C-alpha cells in the first residue's frame, strides 16, 4: 500500500501563488494611483496647420484638461486626438519668429493630475543654399545666429538639393567636369525639442554618405525626391543601356527597389503612400502599398508637369501645356477633376501652395516683354488676391518657390541680369513683400524641423 503524498509542498506552492497575486494587486493599485506622465513628444511633419506636435501620455487623458496647457508665445492652436495620443496643431497663417514654450497640463480619466512639465520647441526650419565658391559650389545651412555652415565638401556643380521631409538630413546631386553625377546624403541630428531652453540648438552634423548607383560606369542622370516621413527616392541612369535604377531608402535605412520605366522625374507623395510618375501619355499616380496590386494606378492624360504638393490636404499644382502654346495652372483635388485656376501665354517659372491648398503662389514671366517676373497670389478658385512685380529681379534658372508654413514665407533665388550672381530671396506669403538676402546662391530650400523625445519626463530622470 502506497503512502499518501505529503501536503506541505502543495501548500507551499499555493501560498506562493497567493502571495504573487496579492503583490500584483498591490502593484496595480500603486500604478493606478501614480500620476500620469508624458512618454514621448515628436514633431509631426504631416499637418494642416503651421506646425504640429504629437504627445503620447502614459495613460488615456481627458482632452479638455490637456487643452488647458499653456503655449508661449500665445499663438492660436488646438489639441486633437483621444486616449493617450494627442496632437497640438498651431493654426496656419501665423509667422512664428521664436521658439515656443509648452507648459503641459492635464488629468487622466481617473482625474489624476499630470505634474506640471515644460517643453521647449522650435518649429522653424533652417535655410539651405547652394553657394558658389572658388572651388565650385558648396551646400550650406544658415544657423540661428545668422552664420553659415558647410554641409558637404565643395562640388564642381550641384544640380539638386533635397531636404529629407523629417528633417533628418539633406541629399544632393553633384556633377563634375566630365558630366558624371553622384548622390551624397548628409545626416543631421535635429535638436528642435528639449526639456530645457538652452537645449535647443542647431542641427548636429552626422555622417556624409555617397550612395552607390549599383550600375557599371558613371552616372548620366540622377534625381531625388523625399516625403514627409523622411523616405528618399533615388532615380539613377547610367551611360550603359539598362543601367537605370529606381529605389526608395526608408527613414529606417531599408531599401526597396522599384521596377518602373518613367519618362521623367519621379516625385513621392508627401504622406508616403505613393508617387507621381510622368509617362508618355500624361501623369500616373502609383500606390506604394505592398498590399495593392502592381496594376493599381491612376492616370491623368495630357502634357502636364507637377509643380508643387499642398502637403496637408492631398492637393497638388500642375502645369498643363496646350497645343497652341498656352499654359494653364491646375489645382488637383482628390476625387475631383483638375480645376483650372489660371490660363495664359506667360511662362510659369515656379509655383507653390500652402498646406490646405487654398492659397496658391505663381511666378509668371511674360513672353516677348520685359524679363521682369510677377508673383501672383490666388485662391483655390483662381481668384487673384494679390500681385506684385519683382522689379529688376527675376528667378534664376531652376529656382523653386518653397513655402514655409511656420514663418508664412516663400523662399527662392533671384538675380538682376544674366551675368549677375543669384541671391537668396524671401517673400511674405500675404503681402508678397520681397526681401533679398545678401547671400550669393544658386539653389535654396527649407530644411524642416524634426526630432523626438522619449521618456524625458520619466520619474527616473
104 grid coordinates: 503641459
Query: Is the model's pLDDT at 381 over the cut of 90?
Result: yes
* pTM, to two decimals: 0.89
Q: Quote the CA–CA distance of 268 and 254 in Å, as a whole number.
A: 16
Averaged over 260-289, what is the pLDDT?
A: 88
119 grid coordinates: 517643453
Q: List pLDDT tens digits, range 214-258.
A: 555 567 788 999 999 999 999 998 777 777 889 999 999 899 999
CB neighbours of 176 closer than 8 A, spacing ≥ 6?
155, 156, 157
Task: Report helix, strand or coil for 189.
Answer: strand
User: What pLDDT shows up at residue 427?
Assistant: 98
DSSP assignment of 277-309: EEETTEEEEEE--TTS-TT-EEEEESSEEEEEE
Averaged over 282-307, what is the pLDDT?
A: 80
Q: What percent of the chain has pLDDT over 70?
A: 87
Per DSSP bridges, beta strands 70-72 and 157-163 are unpaired
**Most confident by average pLDDT, 26-30, 274-278, 360-364, 394-398:** 360-364
CB neighbours of 342 closer than 8 A, spacing ≥ 6?
328, 329, 362, 376, 378, 382
Q: What percent of the chain has pLDDT over 90?
A: 67
Is the Cα dihedral 16, 22, 25, 31 positive or negative? negative
Quick count: other Cβ atoms within 10 Å of Cβ 133? Answer: 12
Q: List pLDDT tens digits, range 150-196.
A: 999 999 999 999 999 999 999 999 988 776 888 999 999 999 999 99
Q: List pLDDT tens digits, range 93-139.
A: 889 999 999 999 999 999 999 998 899 999 999 999 999 988 899 99
Averaged over 75-79, what is the pLDDT?
A: 94
Cell 564642381 -> residue: 156
Percent helix, strand and coil across the chain, each to the nearest 5: 5, 50, 45
Alpha helices in 257-399 (DSSP H): none
Query: Is the distance from CB of 89 to CB of 102 less than 8 angstroms?
Result: no
The mean pLDDT value of the chain amounts to 88
pLDDT band at residue 375, thresholds of 50, 70 and 90?
very high
pLDDT band at residue 49, thresholds of 50, 70 and 90?
confident
Task: Report helix, strand or coil for 15.
Answer: helix
Task: Report helix, strand or coil for 12.
Answer: helix
β-strand partners of 225: 233
- Let me know the angle formed at the C-alpha of 394 by 361 and 446, rounded to the nearest 5 degrees: 55
Query: Is the distance from CB of 205 to CB of 185 less than 8 angstroms?
Result: no
pLDDT band at residue 47, thresholds of 50, 70 and 90?
confident
User: What pLDDT shows up at residue 32?
Assistant: 56
Query: Is the model's pLDDT at 71 over the cut of 70?
Result: yes
User: What pLDDT shows up at residue 460?
Assistant: 45
Q: Quote the CA–CA distance of 401 and 362 in Å, as a whole number.
A: 8
User: What pLDDT shows up at residue 3?
Assistant: 53
Query: Is the model's pLDDT at 48 over the cut of 90?
Result: no
Query: Is the model's pLDDT at 461 over the cut of 50?
Result: no
Query: Is the distance from CB of 66 to CB of 84 less than 8 angstroms?
Result: no
Q: List pLDDT tens digits, range 435-451.
A: 999 999 999 999 999 99
Query: Is the model's pLDDT at 53 over the cut of 80?
Result: yes
Closest CA to 400 of 427, 370, 433: 427
User: What pLDDT shows up at residue 213?
Assistant: 62
Amino acid at each position: 500500500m502506497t503512502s499518501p503524498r505529503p501536503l506541505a509542498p502543495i501548500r507551499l506552492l499555493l501560498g506562493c501563488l497567493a502571495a504573487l497575486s496579492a503583490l500584483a494587486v498591490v502593484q496595480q493599485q500603486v500604478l493606478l494611483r501614480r500620476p500620469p506622465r508624458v512618454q514621448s513628444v515628436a514633431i509631426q511633419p504631416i499637418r494642416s496647420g503651421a506646425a504640429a506636435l504629437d504627445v503620447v501620455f502614459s495613460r488615456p487623458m481627458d482632452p479638455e484638461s490637456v487643452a488647458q496647457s499653456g503655449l508661449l508665445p500665445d499663438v492660436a492652436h488646438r489639441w486633437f486626438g483621444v486616449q493617450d495620443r494627442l496632437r497640438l496643431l498651431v493654426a496656419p497663417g501665423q509667422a512664428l519668429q521664436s521658439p515656443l514654450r509648452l507648459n503641459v497640463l492635464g488629468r487622466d480619466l481617473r482625474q489624476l493630475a499630470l505634474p506640471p512639465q515644460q517643453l521647449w520647441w522650435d518649429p522653424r526650419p533652417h535655410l539651405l543654399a547652394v553657394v558658389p565658391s572658388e572651388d565650385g559650389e558648396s551646400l550650406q545651412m544658415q544657423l540661428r545666429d545668422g552664420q553659415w555652415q558647410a554641409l558637404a565638401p565643395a562640388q564642381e556643380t550641384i544640380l539638386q538639393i533635397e531636404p529629407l521631409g523629417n528633417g533628418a538630413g539633406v541629399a544632393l546631386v553633384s556633377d563634375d567636369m566630365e558630366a558624371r553625377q553622384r548622390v551624397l546624403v548628409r545626416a543631421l541630428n535635429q535638436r528642435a525639442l528639449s526639456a530645457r531652453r538652452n537645449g535647443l540648438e542647431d542641427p548636429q552634423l552626422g555622417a556624409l554618405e555617397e550612395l552607390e548607383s549599383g550600375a557599371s560606369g558613371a552616372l548620366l542622370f540622377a534625381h531625388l525626391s523625399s516625403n514627409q516621413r523622411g523616405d528618399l527616392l533615388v532615380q539613377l541612369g547610367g551611360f550603359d543601356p539598362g543601367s537605370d535604377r529606381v529605389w526608395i531608402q526608408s527613414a529606417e535605412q531599408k531599401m526597396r527597389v522599384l521596377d518602373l520605366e518613367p519618362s521623367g522625374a519621379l516625385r513621392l507623395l508627401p504622406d508616403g503612400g505613393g508617387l507621381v510618375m510622368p509617362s508618355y501619355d500624361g501623369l500616373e499616380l502609383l500606390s506604394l502599398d505592398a498590399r495593392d496590386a502592381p496594376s493599381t494606378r491612376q492616370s491623368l492624360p495630357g502634357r502636364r508637369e507637377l509643380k508643387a504638393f499642398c502637403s496637408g490636404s492631398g492637393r497638388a499644382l500642375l502645369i498643363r501645356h496646350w497645343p497652341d502654346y498656352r499654359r494653364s495652372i491646375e489645382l488637383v483635388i482628390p476625387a475631383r477633376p483638375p480645376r483650372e485656376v489660371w490660363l495664359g501665354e506667360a511662362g510659369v517659372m515656379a509655383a507653390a501652395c500652402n498646406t490646405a491648398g487654398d492659397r496658391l503662389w505663381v511666378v509668371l514671366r511674360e513672353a516677348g516683354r520685359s524679363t521682369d517676373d510677377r508673383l501672383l497670389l490666388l485662391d483655390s478658385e483662381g481668384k487673384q488676391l494679390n500681385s506684385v512685380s519683382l522689379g529688376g529681379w527675376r528667378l534664376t534658372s531652376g529656382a523653386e518657390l518653397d513655402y514655409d508654413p511656420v514663418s508664412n514665407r516663400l523662399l527662392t533665388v533671384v538675380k538682376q541680369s544674366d551675368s549677375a550672381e543669384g541671391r537668396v530671396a524671401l517673400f511674405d506669403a500675404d503681402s508678397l513683400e520681397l526681401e533679398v538676402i545678401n547671400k550669393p546662391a544658386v539653389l535654396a530650400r527649407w530644411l524642416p524641423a524634426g526630432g523626438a523625445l522619449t521618456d524625458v519626463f520619466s520619474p527616473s530622470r
